[in-house]
Amino acid sequence: MLDGFFKSNNIAIIGVSREENKIGRVIFESLLSKFNGNIYPINPNAEEILGYRCYPSIKAIKEKIDLEVIAVPANIIIISINDCIKKKVKNIIIVSAGFKETGNSKLEKRLKELLLKHKINAIGPNCLGIFDASTGLDTLFLPVSRLKRPKRGNISFICQSGAIGSAMLDLIAGENIGISKFISYGNATVIDESDIIEYLANDKSTDVICAYIEGANNGKKFFSTLKKTAAKKPLIIIKAGITKEGHKATLSHTGSLAGSSEVYNAVFKQNKVIKADSLQEIIDYAKIFANIKKIHGNKVQIITNGGGFGIISTDSIINNNLKLACLSKKTTALLKKSLPKTVIISNPIDLTGDADNPRYKLALSSCLKDKNVDVIFLIILFQTPLVDENIVQDILSLKNKKPIVVVSAGDFFTRAIKQALEENNIPTYAFPENAASSIRKLLEYKGKK
Amino acid sequence: MLDGFFKSNNIAIIGVSREENKIGRVIFESLLSKFNGNIYPINPNAEEILGYRCYPSIKAIKEKIDLEVIAVPANIIIISINDCIKKKVKNIIIVSAGFKETGNSKLEKRLKELLLKHKINAIGPNCLGIFDASTGLDTLFLPVSRLKRPKRGNISFICQSGAIGSAMLDLIAGENIGISKFISYGNATVIDESDIIEYLANDKSTDVICAYIEGANNGKKFFSTLKKTAAKKPLIIIKAGITKEGHKATLSHTGSLAGSSEVYNAVFKQNKVIKADSLQEIIDYAKIFANIKKIHGNKVQIITNGGGFGIISTDSIINNNLKLACLSKKTTALLKKSLPKTVIISNPIDLTGDADNPRYKLALSSCLKDKNVDVIFLIILFQTPLVDENIVQDILSLKNKKPIVVVSAGDFFTRAIKQALEENNIPTYAFPENAASSIRKLLEYKGKK
């Protein structure tokens, strides 16, 4: 059902303005930036925009149109859809708002009937549309200066709310986390969350699915989709509107019929859906699931250059029902022999504030080889000058199949190194709590706890 | 006891190396960058460093020395202290490590006896020392390229762990939050956490005290200090080593004698100490307490340009026992008359994705005047291009005594505007949960719940 969207070659956009910052115009520019297919801007009052020939209507385009993006006002939407029907366009993204979410249920109903009658696959209305990091197919009407696009990766993200979706994409891009496909589906008039999740469950370039859901269009369909999907790949969901008041707010947003949060929680638990309680948790969990495929147990070894971080990490690990690994005698002896006396060889291993890259390398390689260790909790505080950006290569040169998560808190210098680690599929966190709860979620999902 | 440190004019540093990145050398450079007093580098093997005359020993300096920073190896510390005694230096910061935290309790004991006998005020050993954003007094041995120094502000931060302290300062500087004084006190051999908290309780340039504590040196003294201090100003504490395993790790870090976390929790609660459970919470709480002095009640009005953010904010507000404000009929009528039909006038007020600065200004000014509203929960998603950086001035022009917290998630563009808001004492958060829990803590402290 969604394949036609993502494999589109010829895309038309209705409502491309000559004025910058207008919705249709920004969509046109988003598509121009990286998409390799053909783009057809439609505007009856312009001959050309940005050097591209403009068409007065979709009927004036000779070529077959695979996907049409509609950004016209709600009151003329039916005319646009009728044009699409005549042109036999089968995939439509309706960005326009002003339907059931603003009380205009009559228009929404009329739209739905028309789309269903002509078997048109439609995303929206009241949505941002789609973004595919690998093909550059990008219908987001938010400019790159405001919303940085993430690099290519294996996480797909579906989002009922365009605002949540756009803020999350921007944050994810800032952390240098990769995205496969992004779908903002708004009112879910034809294609709903279940259709999208099912599509992503079968999508080979998606390893992890994240979803922001206000409510399911069709509860039975949704729950059966969850069951099928979560058995195939990690599915992380935040359900919004969990309080009575929050639920009320969903009605005037996407007009969702939400069930009680207890029902959702129970279904999530039953079906191995990974429940996120905040947007931060979605990001935290997504990166560990995207990067770590195997984890053998819950014995965590902390390596740090700051004692205090070691202590709060210990607290976080215990509070998340993980265990502190107990290094073998061989590892302990080797480290004691090779490292300065001030270093504390225990769990945490405290390499202390004057730790440099070689000291980290030695500790990391020994712990990676130690059979008593399942996961490395690698704290690196880059405020101390003897450890530097070359540690990224050191970590990569040693990496075996044992999971490593990096905890590192700081501003510019730190952020750049964390981006380099994320580039190389090492999940990074600012604070121990986030890293420990992510490890816990991964173990729970893998049935190792 | 600490006044002598912060009012120092003549500062000597023992152990200033000609080599860059060495500890004493970095401290020297930190002091040079902004401090206006006199700085005396001591190195018997150098005539000058960075154009400053070097002294062979502290005895060779003619002027009175107010503060000496010692960065020599632990094994020659006693010699350095004896030199200070001869020179009658009364305030010392001992940065050097290698005392009880590495099992060398004998040396620590000897050091302590010597310092007490000669009534020397000493911070450390095994610490970073102090930073004062208003005078530029900066003994941190971590270079600015790695650890950005925060601007001047009204939050003071004391930290047993240097690593936690430096990572936090770097993060705080990145968010453009202001700091008054920072003290990393390490092993607390002479001056301990209670002395520092008591000093800050009486310090006029400190409105909020944040503390990272592994354990109290003297339980009775600590608890009585908490009681006195929390009655005067907000005191936010994270207690590390709350699990059995974490507690064990404190012993090899700063050698603290920690009590059970239950005892700490009970004492915190009894004395209105604001307990933080993570480093993120310290930052979250500090900024609301630093910037918002008065709050009349728990009725929160959400204004948003993204429906989804409105919903998760509603959930967060309810989950934190806050209430949704109910706008007066007058406000509702005015907003309905003045704003486009697509805008939802309720709680949340959803200005929708095409909201611009004037729309925000109108909604904000009306809610600020409405007697039914105690707090404004202002969500601004800058991914949409019609709202821009000028909104900072709009918010400031309207601001009355009613608290405003801003929620805004995103990368570069968003971050710059949040920094401008923090510059103007508006607390900002990335996610609704953090904002709502901070409002809750403020209300609890003010006894309004």
Tens-digit pLDDT profile for residues A364-401? 999 999 999 999 999 999 999 899 999 999 999 999 89
B164 → closest Cβ in A166, A241, A306: A306
Chain A partners within 8 Å of B386 (Cβ): 21
Mapping DSSP onto H, E and C, the string for A201-259 reads HCCCCCCEEEEEECCCCCHHHHHHHHHHHHHHCCEEEEECCCCHHHHHHHHCCCCCCCC
Please name the amino acid found at residue B381: L
Which position has the higher pLDDT, B250 or B146?
B146
3-state secondary structure of B114: helix
A382 → closest Cβ in B146, B248, B318: B146
Nearest CA in chain A to B255: A307
Count Cβ neighbours within 10 Å for each residue of A329-353 and write b for 16 or more, e otherwise. eebbebbeeebeebbbbbbbbbbbb
Chain B partners within 8 Å of A170 (Cβ): 383, 409-411, 414
Token pair for A13 = 């956009």
Q: Is the pLDDT of residue A242 over 70?
A: yes
Please tell me the predicted confidence (pLDDT) of residue B259. Answer: 63
Please tell me the predicted confidence (pLDDT) of residue B20. Answer: 86
Q: What residues of chain A, 292 to 331, have a C-beta less than 8 Å from chain B?
A: 304-312, 314-315, 317-319, 324
Confidence of residue A252 (pLDDT cuts 50, 70, 90): low
Given an 8 Å threshold on Cβ–Cβ distance, is A385 in contact with B164?
no
Neighbours of A269 (CB within 10 A): 10
What's the pLDDT tens digit per position in A33-91?
Answer: 999 999 999 999 999 999 999 999 999 999 999 999 999 999 999 999 999 999 999 99
Alpha-carbon gap: B60 to the closest alpha carbon of chain A (Å): 30
B324 → closest Cβ in A102, A147, A245: A245
Please tell me the predicted confidence (pLDDT) of residue A151. Answer: 97
User: What is the number of alpha carbons within 13 Å of residue A263 lying toward its C-beta?
Assistant: 10
Q: Is the pLDDT of residue A255 over 70?
A: no
Could you report how far apart the first and last alpha carbons of chain A are, in Å?
A: 37
Q: Mean pLDDT of all residues in chain B? A: 94
Q: Is the pLDDT of residue A142 over 80?
A: yes
Please tell me the predicted confidence (pLDDT) of residue B396. Answer: 98
Alpha-carbon gap: B264 to the closest alpha carbon of chain A (Å): 15
Asked if the bond preceding B348 is cis, omega within 30° of 0, the reply is yes
Q: Is the pLDDT of residue A258 over 70?
A: no
Nearest CA in chain B to A302: B249
CA distance linking residue B237 with residue B279, whole number of Å: 10
Please name the amino acid found at residue A379: I
| Residues in contact with A79: Cβ distance below 8 Å, sequence separation at least 6, in sequence order | none
Please tell me the predicted confidence (pLDDT) of residue A342. Answer: 85
Please tell me the predicted confidence (pLDDT) of residue B256. Answer: 57
Please tell me the predicted confidence (pLDDT) of residue B262. Answer: 83
Residue B137 dihedral angles phi and psi, to the nearest 5°:
-65, 115
**Contact predicate B93/B30, CB 8 Å:** no
Please tell me the predicted confidence (pLDDT) of residue B102. Answer: 79
What's the pLDDT tens digit per position in B350-382?
Answer: 999 889 999 999 999 999 999 999 999 999 999
Percent of chain B with pLDDT over 90: 86
**Contact predicate A333/A324, CB 8 Å:** no
Given an 8 Å threshold on Cβ–Cβ distance, is A163 in contact with B308?
yes
Please tell me the predicted confidence (pLDDT) of residue B184. Answer: 96
Please tell me the predicted confidence (pLDDT) of residue B142. Answer: 93
Asked if the bond preceding A41 is cis, omega within 30° of 0, the reply is no
Confidence of residue B215 (pLDDT cuts 50, 70, 90): confident
Nearest CA in chain B to A247: B311
What's the pLDDT tens digit per position in B125-182?
Answer: 999 999 999 999 999 999 999 999 999 999 999 998 899 999 999 999 999 999 999 9
Q: Is the pLDDT of residue B258 over 80?
A: no
Q: Is the pLDDT of residue A20 over 90?
A: no
Q: Is the pLDDT of residue A9 over 90?
A: yes
Q: Is the pLDDT of residue B311 over 90?
A: yes
Q: What residues of chain B, 91 to 130, have a C-beta less than 8 Å from chain A?
A: 97-98, 101-102
Please tell me the predicted confidence (pLDDT) of residue A254. Answer: 61
**Contact predicate B207/B201, CB 8 Å:** no
Place of tokens 């405001």: A146
Q: Is the pLDDT of residue A148 over 60?
A: yes
What's the pLDDT tens digit per position in A419-448?
Answer: 999 999 999 999 999 999 999 999 999 987
Residue B112 dihedral angles phi and psi, to the nearest 5°:
-60, -45
Q: Is the pLDDT of residue A345 over 90?
A: yes
Chain A partners within 8 Å of B317 (Cβ): 245
- ∠ CA B189-B190-B193, nearest 5°, is 85
Q: Is the pLDDT of residue A257 over 60?
A: no
Token pair for B202 = 């009486």
Q: Is the pLDDT of residue B255 over 80?
A: no
A interface test, pick of B177, B212, B345, B383 with most A CB neighbours within 10 Å = B383
Chain A partners within 8 Å of B385 (Cβ): 21, 26, 142-143, 145-146
Please tell me the predicted confidence (pLDDT) of residue B302. Answer: 98
Q: What residues of chain B, 31 to 90, have a C-beta less than 8 Å from chain A?
A: none
Q: Is the pLDDT of residue A217 over 90?
A: no
Confidence of residue A100 (pLDDT cuts 50, 70, 90): confident
Please tell me the predicted confidence (pLDDT) of residue B254. Answer: 60
CA distance linking residue B357 with residue A213, whole number of Å: 29
Confidence of residue A97 (pLDDT cuts 50, 70, 90): confident
**Closest C-alpha to B25, from B38, B14, B34:** B14
Within an 8 Å CB–CB cutoff, is residue B213 touching chain A? Answer: no
Q: What is the mean pLDDT of residues A201-225?
A: 93
User: Any idea what DSSP says for residue B266?
Assistant: H
Please tell me the predicted confidence (pLDDT) of residue A150. Answer: 97
Please tell me the predicted confidence (pLDDT) of residue A329. Answer: 98
Q: What is the mean pLDDT of residues B294-310?
A: 96
A163 → closest Cβ in B161, B214, B309: B309
Please tell me the predicted confidence (pLDDT) of residue B252. Answer: 67
Alpha-carbon gap: A331 to the closest alpha carbon of chain B (Å): 19
pTM to 2 decimal places = 0.95
Alpha-carbon gap: B350 to the closest alpha carbon of chain A (Å): 9
Nearest CA in chain B to A159: B308
Token pair for A304 = 């740090």
CA distance linking residue A320 with residue A290, whole number of Å: 20
**Contact predicate A164/A183, CB 8 Å:** no
Percent of chain A with pLDDT over 70: 98
